[in-house]
Amino acid sequence: HNADIARMAHRALHLADGRIARVERNAVRIAASELRW
């Protein structure tokens, strides 16, 4: 639900109607310390 947290992951899954609608792969991930809260 938080797009900034998704930037830390290898992959982000997007769901629609309870199914995987899209998979995004992050070529460049950020560290947790780089997040702005």
β-strand pairing of 11-16 with 19-25 = antiparallel
Q: What pLDDT is stored for residue 2 in this prediction?
A: 82
- Please name which of 10, 14, 1, 3 lies closest in space to residue 36, comparing C-alpha atoms: 3
The ranges assigned to domains in the chain are 3-34
Q: Report how far residue 20's alpha carbon sits from residue 14's, in angstroms, rounded to the nearest whole number.
A: 6
3-state secondary structure of 29: coil
- Tens place of pLDDT for every residue, the chain, 37 residues? 788 889 999 999 999 999 999 999 999 999 999 988 7
